[in-house]
Structure 1
Amino acid sequence: MHPTRMLRRMALAGLVGLGLAGAPVPTLSAAWADSVLRVAPGADLSSLDPTGPSGTQTYIHGMMVYDTLFAQDEDLGIHPQMVGEETVSDDKLHYRMTLREGLRFHDNSSVTTRDVLASLKRWMGLDVVGRTMAVDVAEMAAVDDRTFTITLRRPFPVEQALANSGSGLPVILREKEASGGPFTKDTAVIGSGPFRFLRDAWVPGAKFAYQRFEGYVPRSEPANGMAGGKVVKVDRVEFTVMPDATTKASALQSGEIDLIDQVPFDQADFMSGMPGITVAAPSKIFNTFFMRPNSLHPPFNDARARQALALAVNQPDYMAVAFVRPEWGQPCLSFFVCGSPNGVTNGSEPYQHQNLERARELLRESGYRGEKVVLLNSHETLFVGMATDLAAENLKQIGLNVEVRESDWGTYMARRNNKAEPDAGGWNLFLTATSGSGAYSPLSNTIADTTCGGRNFAGWACDEEAARLRDAYVHEADPAKQRQLLEQLSARLWQVMPTVVLGQRAQLYAWRNDVSGLLRSPSLITLLWNVEKH
């Protein structure tokens, strides 16, 4: 057993042995005790806007409250969701879509094409997939209240884009919110999804809750991933923020909560043998774990310094520290998810083995002379915290003057979007994971997007050649030619290194055995319709 894993497991066992298994954990509302699903989230709800770059909990919030035109099943297949009928021209340039009947917002107003078009325009300005689609859209227009058209300049995978769950979500807002600029604390959260957000129950850093929307009309197909009928089988879902892993484990044992979302890996390892509790990774696709350098500021505005980071890494060390079991964390040298149809490794050959001496040489060649490097961290998401601890020591081995900035997860998320100099509230490096459902395709892979202009994922990598190859891949209809472009793109990414791939991880959950119906999500987004308590 890895020494770090052994120490952490012993610590968790000791705390539970001291009687914490029965420690009281506050709940949101005893009045709903018979019909409430109580969840300990992986992190606090730090933002209510799921349309642009955000954290996983915001995307979970988005899929509970809002709905999308298309949706991915557990195998990444694409299905209509809000769309009832669709026709596509033979040249793939003209789409006509009609919303299915019965779609209503939580204020009981009907969903119309005005809402749809305003929402899509907003998403196209905020998300990597949306911005890519926007380049090819010649016109979007309403035919009537339920039917709209999309006219393209050249063929584009429209349904895949509108089902995206790996970055900013193309959810449908009311026209008022979609046209109202950036979300603020006063922006109304009124969707047409299966749950209503209970703003009065939201206490940032402590709790948030949702109630079943009685006016939601599910599709008739069985639920499958994010697709099919979203049937809500509890009256209410309550999230209680518990940053401490032991508190979560104790609460699950005692029945104070029913489900741990994004359960920490050491906690999962310890809990696997507990009676009455299931620990599992329902998703079929793994999620990419990575280190993100800030390409705006020295030293990582130089590709050689970014390459040095990759040469400093020994992926099995990160997998052991962060993910505990081999089946939960796997080394991977693909930008597009090992085990996926696109899991190519072209260009990774120089990085298959750690090479500290070459990493030091590249740092010197880049002009680095010992300047402070700000590494963001938050142990509130435990696998990030433990892996970042390792990274801090690892990168000191190649001569980087690393300063770790520890914070809660909300602060961490806010700071990583700050483009300022590292000493003025910005940063140089952070570690996190991204959804395999987005990373498997160049269209939706945010960490491989090198579109210049500073509107891409935090780190703001810029390389015109990689961006050109990505664009060519997205628009290539011939599978053989598309594969060649994918391999060329992979090779270019390993040269410019916008992201350092550390491996890939499962998404783990732990739940009491009186809970059933948890769906296999194609992404990091936990799906809480179809779940019931017995």
Structure 2
Amino acid sequence: MRLPLPFRARPLAAAFFSLAALAAQAGFASTLHMIPQGDLKILDPIQNPSYITRNHGYMIYDTLFAQNAKGIIKPQMVDSWKVSADKKTWSFKLRDGLKWSDGTPVTAADCVASLKRWGARDVSGRLLFAAVGEIKASDAANFTIVLKSAFGPVLEMLGKPSSNVPFMMPERIAATDPNEQIKDTVGSGPFIFKRDEWVPGSKVVYIKNPNYVPRKEPADGLAGGKLVKVDRVEWNYIPDQNTALAAFKKGEMDIYELPPADFIPVLSADASIKLATDPLGDQGWLRPNHLAAPFDNPKARQALYYLVNQGEYMAAAGFPEAYRHKPCMAYFMCGSVNESFAGSAPYAGGKDIEKAKKLLQEAGYKGEKIVVLTPSEPPVQAAAAMVTVQNLKKAGVNVDAQAMDWSTLLARRAKKDGWHIFHTYSVGTDVFSPAVNAYAQANCEKAPSGWPCDAKLEQLRAAWVAEGDAAKRKKITDELQARMYEVVPYVNFGQFFQPMAYRTNLTGVLSVGVPVMWNIEKK
């Protein structure tokens, strides 16, 4: 276990204490200090799907619909809606009094422009807009979506909770080319981004938005009233995790978004700290390059299943038993509405090195070098890569484990040659359905890094989004997952719960998988 290094942490921690004291003297007595998961570099949550940018989006923007704690879609900026008998025409009315942070009114035209921009970038947005014939505003408060083909989960897509989230922006900003970064951060969310106080690599500042109009219902998941009970929020980026832990334990920071797994026992033992987890959790992935031999052969990809013992991966990442899900064979998350075990029976026995060897041989593997991208961080991906490297070697594979930082890995995996396997993980809300799971795509060149290509899988995904009946959709889910076990877009190496830590003088903290700052009161 990594322990804090007080002699290294003290100067930085003292500096943060001084900043907090100065903020209080300046009239910001109710300031939340959070250690974010990373440094905020990109401000456009539509153009960039990174979680740190998504989290920034939730601070300053709002959505038309949102998921509550039970995963049910609820209206957010929308007041009411109706759908025609043939399920082709959807009409929406905005709530009265909605304003942008600059004081101008929110209009239906703003929402139409925002949806179009989101639909050009997001995996589920592209699915939805492929079915859209027309989307237009009829007046300042009302707009319609007319479908040219059947699409079942319309509201689920408009209330998509994670990257890319369909955040609403003023029309003049949403008119920005989807492939370009926006330059203006006016939003209708609960906070305002203080660009003049932003220090990249160090600090991000938000203040309460006086023009925000919350819903009247209590906060519930990402839905309900987003009541802001503090004046100011600061994200204080501390790249050294030991320094971050020391600052948090001393009370200089209020929230620690993603402490490393091996810090969990230390944090759990501190009575002044609480840990909150997203009930759905996260899922880890081993992603093969479908364009590179031997993984251009499905038997070689299937061999990877026999190299995975999920408990082994979770232990290597440092997760205590209480923060690991039992072995999960569901592509769309165990515990979700789309949980399925179809197609998983051949792999239920767990790791089988000899079976993996046999399948690799049948796939034509003859000792060629297999490049595994092995990052030094983040901790989960780094640990998973090392486990895979060791198990590949046990299966007789000639492994080239190429060490690099995460930024370099992201650049390398975007190239279609020169690598065979990388590891990543995703929050459950980005995985739980065929419509939102970007890595379930098998549309060849259009698929994310790894580029699986399978017409049948794409036909099943299209059938899933076209089906409006929940029972029929469940049947398609089973067929789709069974096909995924044949195609192997990726291998699930474990479902786990990455906690967010916060101090006990905070109340109203919501466990939603996103570090939202509304509803929190600091005593």
Structure 1, 427-436 or 211-220: larger mean CA deviation: 427-436
1:382 aligns with 2:379: yes
Aligned equivalent of 1:430: 422
Aligned equivalent of 1:5: none
For 1:155 and 1:373, the matched residues in 2 are separated by: 40
Aligned equivalent of 1:175: 171
Q: TM-score by structure 1 length?
A: 0.89
Aligned equivalent of 2:102: 107
Q: Is the 8 A contact 1:52 1:169 kept in 2?
A: no
For 2:339 and 2:324, the matched residues in 1 are separated by: 16
For 1:212 and 1:367, the matched residues in 2 are separated by: 61
For 1:356 and 1:325, the matched residues in 2 are separated by: 26
Label 1:165 to 1:24 Cα distance change in 2 as closer, same or farther (>3 A): same
Counting aligned pairs with the same residue, the percent is 39
For 2:52 and 2:388, the matched residues in 1 are separated by: 25
Aligned equivalent of 1:237, options 227, 233, 244: 233
Q: Is the 8 A contact 2:300 2:359 kept in 1?
A: yes
For 1:412 and 1:319, the matched residues in 2 are separated by: 21
1:122 aligns with 2:113: no
For 1:421 and 1:203, the matched residues in 2 are separated by: 37
**What secondary structure does 2:415 align onto?**
coil
**What secondary structure does 2:12 align onto?**
coil
For 1:295 and 1:198, the matched residues in 2 are separated by: 44
Aligned equivalent of 2:299: 304
Structure 1, 427-436 or 494-503: larger mean CA deviation: 427-436
After superposition, residues 475-494 of structure 1 pair within 5 angstroms as: 475-494=466-485
CA positional deviation for 1:271 = 1.5
CA positional deviation for 1:186 = 6.7
1:198 aligns with 2:207: no
For 1:94 and 1:378, the matched residues in 2 are separated by: 50
After superposition, residues 384-403 of structure 1 pair within 5 angstroms as: 384-398=381-395, 399-403=397-401
For 1:406 and 1:437, the matched residues in 2 are separated by: 28
One-letter code of the match for 1:444? V
Q: Is the 8 A contact 1:20 1:250 kept in 2?
A: no
Q: Is the 8 A contact 1:473 1:485 kept in 2?
A: yes
Label 1:180 to 1:428 Cα distance change in 2 as closer, same or farther (>3 A): farther
Aligned equivalent of 1:406: 404
**What secondary structure does 1:120 align onto?**
helix
After superposition, residues 60-99 of structure 1 pair within 5 angstroms as: 60-99=55-94
**What secondary structure does 1:327 align onto?**
helix
Label 1:316 to 1:48 Cα distance change in 2 as closer, same or farther (>3 A): same
Give 5+ residue unaligned stretches, structure 1.
1-7
Label 1:382 to 1:23 Cα distance change in 2 as closer, same or farther (>3 A): farther
Q: Is the 8 A contact 1:166 1:445 kept in 2?
A: no
For 2:109 and 2:481, the matched residues in 1 are separated by: 40
For 2:21 and 2:107, the matched residues in 1 are separated by: 38
Structure 1, 241-250 or 364-373: larger mean CA deviation: 364-373
Aligned equivalent of 1:342: 338
Q: Is the 8 A contact 1:88 1:95 kept in 2?
A: yes
For 1:324 and 1:238, the matched residues in 2 are separated by: 28
For 2:296 and 2:215, the matched residues in 1 are separated by: 48
Structure 1, 314-323 or 395-404: larger mean CA deviation: 395-404
C-alpha root-mean-square deviation of aligned residues, in Å? 2.3
Question: Residues 7-27 of structure 1: CA distance to partner in whole angstroms, max 9, x if unpaired?
Answer: x2xx41xx45x6567553243
1:495 aligns with 2:486: yes
Aligned equivalent of 2:215, options 216, 219, 225: 219
Label 1:428 to 1:119 Cα distance change in 2 as closer, same or farther (>3 A): farther
After superposition, residues 134-213 of structure 1 pair within 5 angstroms as: 134-153=129-148, 154-182=150-178, 187-213=183-209
Aligned equivalent of 2:353, options 356, 366, 378: 356
CA positional deviation for 1:492 = 0.5
For 2:343 and 2:364, the matched residues in 1 are separated by: 24
For 2:202 and 2:85, the matched residues in 1 are separated by: 52
Aligned equivalent of 1:373: 371
Equivalent pairs counted in the alignment come to 511
For 1:47 and 1:395, the matched residues in 2 are separated by: 37
Aligned equivalent of 1:461: 452
CA positional deviation for 1:467 = 1.4
**What secondary structure does 1:312 align onto?**
coil
Structure 1, 296-305 or 524-533: larger mean CA deviation: 296-305
CA positional deviation for 1:213 = 1.2
Aligned equivalent of 1:532: 521
CA positional deviation for 1:98 = 1.3
Question: Residues 312-338 of structure 1: CA distance to partner in whole angstroms, max 9, x if unpaired?
Answer: 111110121225222211221110111
Q: Is the 8 A contact 2:176 2:182 kept in 1?
A: no
Label 1:111 to 1:31 Cα distance change in 2 as closer, same or farther (>3 A): farther
Give 5+ residue unaligned stretches, structure 2.
none
One-letter code of the match for 1:24? L
Label 1:208 to 1:389 Cα distance change in 2 as closer, same or farther (>3 A): farther
CA positional deviation for 1:526 = 1.8
Question: Residues 95-141 of structure 1: CA distance to partner in whole angstroms, max 9, x if unpaired?
Answer: 11111122222232222222211111111111111011112111101
